[in-house]
Amino acid sequence: MAHLESLLQRCSKLSHIKQLHAHLLVTGLFPISASFRSRLIELCAVASFGDLHYALAMFRSTPRSAAATNDWNAAIRGLAAGPEPAAALLLFAHEMLPLAPPRPDALTLSFAIRAAARLSALPPTRQLHSLLLRLGLAADVRLATTLLDAYAKATDLPSAHQVFSEMTLRDVATWNALISGLALSDRPPDALALFRRLSSSPDPSDPAPNDGTIVAALSACAQLGSLRDGAAVHDYARARGLDADVRVRNALLDMYAKCGAVDRAAAIFRATPEKSLVSYNAIIMGLALHGRGAEALHLFDEMLRSTDLEPDAVTYLAVLCGCTHAGLVDEGLRVFRSMRVRPTMKHYGSVVDLLGRAGRLTEAYGVVESMPFEPDVVLWQTLLGACRTHGEVDLAERVSQKLFEMGSNGCGNYVLLSNVYAANRRWSDVGRVREAMKSHDVKKIPGISTTEIEGVVHTFYNGDKEHERWREIYRALDEIGARIKALGYVPDTSNVLHDIGDEDKENALCQHSEKLALAFGLISTPVGAPIQVMKNLRICGDCHTVAKLISRAYDRVIIVRDLARFHRFEGGDCSCRDYW
């Protein structure tokens, strides 16, 4: 067997595995040598040069009476990591469990739970948890960590917390699953709180944060848009030498870009010696979202010219996004036509957005009709948004009909169509759309804006008077109105409901959530300090104009992160150059 062990270690191609398998079959050793057989199946199932289908064929050719636990583990592991993780659960639950023997061990459970985690599937996770307890494997730290990760990815955070609290020993991977799970489950404040708890823990039994912990914490900061917290995590990583890891540097790129500090992201990118494709994707997308499409395009071309890296679907999406937000129509079309990967719905959607923003609606509609697959709701909504921007009524009506035929009944469809009618002063049609919203019980998504002041996040709604300092905020709005009107501000009431008076329209505009957040920022920060606001919807034209004028009147840098991109207002101008 020694020479076979040597041959197994030297396998570096699928042809090597097949030759070794053939030798075992000819000599009659394949079904006999259980240990060697299972390692051969596992190598074929999980190695980069392997073939999962061939591995499963080897597994299936083994008589069930001869199959050992390790054979099942190899097959389940390969399926769990493959394109169809549900097949791993089926093999485990419907074929292995009914047999006795073999008995599943901790590895079997871990591979099955990983499959459930990849599927974000809660019922099988709970069933596997129950089986784990019955088999007496609850004390296995790695297995419990895998289970915790599965609960977190299935967004059952109470169960994840319960598993975490019941563990007598917690390694750093345990903390990282939970912190990452909180971040991915729309609970980034809780993720950061757990990171702070671990990083400042006086308990010597608690592990020290590693690069995975930093990546998870930075992800939470990116979601929050909290530059203050992100910089603090960066300082912690730098002090402990964790910022040299490429995964951490990529997470820093993403965090700084999503927190409005794209220049810091660019500096980290330039200082990274070994730039991966993820590094390029992160900085190109960061530049794109900040309206710096020409720089994003330059980096993309530089990557093609100066590295061996091959762009993937994410790279192309990032470049197209940059071209879209910067109005680089011809350049974006060039990138799309030169794609080296198969375009997805998102790539076609980016091209439709690119053409639609530029007013080339006929071409955008032509792209939709020429796609090799049926357009989805998001793509039609993208085209409807372009119709709103350019006041194209006929196409807007056709697109809206498509959306309603597809069963899309979201408020955004109605609002966009209503705005197209309002821009063309077709008030009876606006009223008809509003009546349709009422009859279908469609509620408009409220505008919400947040701003962070000294580590505290303040939330504002349109017309909000719940904040403890609301009277000061509204007095500040009055002062702002007077100062910007002196600079020539005229309220844009074109998309405000037509059946109220002009004064009421102006008041409705004045009380948009981002204006409330900006006013609070002005009265709560030192003179000259930048103000950052996050908005859950696309910033409206009037608020965009007001932000530009505030930046000029108060000599402030204002950064607004809305649903689609960043706007940096400074000296009366915006980084989007009024193209968004």
pLDDT at 501: 46
**What's the CA gap between 198 and 184, in Å, rounded?**
19
H/E run at residue 438: helix 427-439
- Number of domains the chain is built from: 1
Contacts of 427 (CB under 8 A, 6+ apart): 421, 498, 499
Cα angle at 75 between 69 and 76, to 5 degrees?
A: 85
531-535/456-461 β-pairing: unpaired
**What's the CA gap between 24 and 31, in Å, rounded?**
8
Q: CB atoms < 10 A from the CB of 442, how many?
A: 17
The rounded Cα 192 to chain-centroid distance in angstroms is: 18
Quick check: is 252 in a domain?
no
**What's the CA gap between 488 and 49, in Å, rounded?**
67
Check if the beta carbon of residue 126 is closer than 8 Å to that of residue 118. no
**What's the CA gap between 22 and 24, in Å, rounded?**
5
pLDDT at 29: 67
Quick check: is 570 in a domain?
yes
What SS3 class is residue 559?
A: strand
Quick check: is 457 in a domain?
yes
**What's the CA gap between 550 and 560, in Å, rounded?**
13
What's the alpha-carbon Rg for the chain, to the nearest Å? 28
Quick check: is 522 in a domain?
yes
**What's the CA gap between 198 and 81, in Å, rounded?**
30
Contacts of 412 (CB under 8 A, 6+ apart): 381, 445
Quick check: is 208 in a domain?
no
**Tokens representing residue 316 in the block:** 């192309």
Nearest to 154 by CA among 181, 172, 128: 181
Rounded (10°) angle between helices 470-485 and 513-524:
100
Quick check: is 494 in a domain?
yes
Q: CB atoms < 10 A from the CB of 214, how many?
A: 26
**What's the CA gap between 289 and 563, in Å, rounded?**
10
Check if the beta carbon of residue 530 is closer than 8 Å to that of residue 537. no
H/E run at residue 533: strand 531-535
Question: Which sign, positive or negative, has the C-alpha torsion 153, 155, 161, 166?
Answer: negative
What SS3 class is residue 461?
A: strand
Length of the chain as a residue count? 580
Strand partners, 561: 534, 566
**DSSP secondary structure, 378-392, as one string:** HHHHHHHHHHHHHT-
Nearest to 190 by CA among 219, 232, 211, 151: 219
pLDDT at 500: 46
**What's the CA gap between 367 and 320, in Å, rounded?**
15
pLDDT at 266: 95
- pTM here is 0.77
Quick check: is 148 in a domain?
no
- Give residue-wise pLDDT tens across range 36-90: 778 888 888 888 788 888 888 888 888 877 788 988 999 999 999 888 899 999 9
Cα angle at 485 between 483 and 490, to 5 degrees?
A: 150
Quick check: is 170 in a domain?
no
Mean pLDDT by 10 residues, the chain (580 residues): 67 79 75 73 82 87 82 91 91 88 89 93 94 88 88 87 83 85 80 89 83 94 89 94 92 93 94 92 94 94 93 96 93 95 94 94 92 89 87 86 77 77 77 76 82 89 89 94 91 59 57 93 93 90 93 94 89 87
Residue span of the structural domain in which 465 resides:
448-574
**What's the CA gap between 363 and 330, in Å, rounded?**
13
